Amino acid sequence: MRIQVLGPLSAEVNGGSIVPSAGKPRQILSLLALYPGRVMPVPTLMEEIWATQPPQSALTTLQTYILQLRRRLGTAMGPGAPGGAKEVLATRHGGYLLQIPPDSVDVHQYDRLTREGQTAFESGDDEVSAARFREALGLWEGPALVDVRLGPVLEIEVVRLEESRLVTVERRIDADLRLGRHAELIAELIELTARHPQHEGLHSQAMVALYRSGRQASALEVYRRLRVRLIEDLGVEPSPQLQRLHQAVLTVDPQLDVLAGPRHSSTYDLFTA
């Protein structure tokens, strides 16, 4: 079985899709897929489907949805498959679980690759770090579960995944900057700062990439726009780290040209006190 949640929901067995067309069974499959090998309690599944207002027939209806998923799974597995749909989509005391290897689901491949990328970054192996982060981000085919109706449980999961995706992008750019790829990053960073106009980490990376590419004035303009946005929207000044980075750009601080210092930290923390 191969399941994708980083984009449109996809679940295939022997090349055949087992994704139901109905909304609520899709929610159940999505939630089970996020935690393969772990029991998803019945109350959690009910909360996802009906929030705080489950009907009186909620348990029976949930069992019907599970049966529908098992039928699709059994059809795809074929009559000669060892075990059977009941062993893959198993019932346990108080809940249900998908008994499949974690790496069968793209989000768990993503998590493994990001851990490997972070370990490489912290050890100073920026080539491996950038490659692992890039591979992890390559698993995304759009917003997580973009074609699934989100109840309260899945909504939290999707917010978590999207935040993780942005952090991974930022970490990959950190590694690329340490490798001297500043000129290659400018277009991407201009787009990212436009999409995330209050994100100080991305703005700090854009400032460094522009400065190292000989565009001091553009780097200062990035800071100016961020400062205006923070003051107008939130009534706050940029962080001390970013203010020190701004001062470094103004004074042409040689530290800005040091690609990899003694600490394997982020670009945002380049001028931490």
Cα separation, 227 vs 55, whole angstroms: 50
Which residues fall within 8 angstroms of residue 32, CB to CB, at 6 or more apart? 40, 89, 96, 97, 98
Helix (H) / strand (E) element for 95: namely strand 95-98
For residue 58, the model assigns a pLDDT of: 93
Distances (CA, A) of 45 to 24, 55, 71, 146: 10, 13, 19, 19
For residue 272, the model assigns a pLDDT of: 67
Cα separation, 202 vs 122, whole angstroms: 20
Q: What is the pLDDT of residues 248-270, one digit of tens each?
A: 999 999 988 876 655 566 787 77
Which amino acid, one-letter code, is at 222? V
Q: Where are the alpha helices (DSSP H) in the chain?
A: 23-34, 42-50, 58-77, 85-88, 106-122, 126-137, 152-178, 182-195, 200-212, 216-234, 240-250
Chunked into runs of 10 residues, the chain (273 residues) has average pLDDT values of 95 90 95 94 96 92 94 81 80 93 95 96 93 98 96 97 97 94 96 96 96 96 97 95 95 83 69 65
Residue 1 DSSP symbol: -
pTM above 0.85, yes or no: yes
For residue 36, the model assigns a pLDDT of: 93
Q: Which has the closest alpha carbon to 203: 215, 213, 193, 218?
A: 193
For residue 269, the model assigns a pLDDT of: 78
Cα separation, 99 vs 272, whole angstroms: 46
Q: What is the pLDDT of residues 86-111, one digit of tens each?
A: 889 999 989 999 999 999 999 999 99
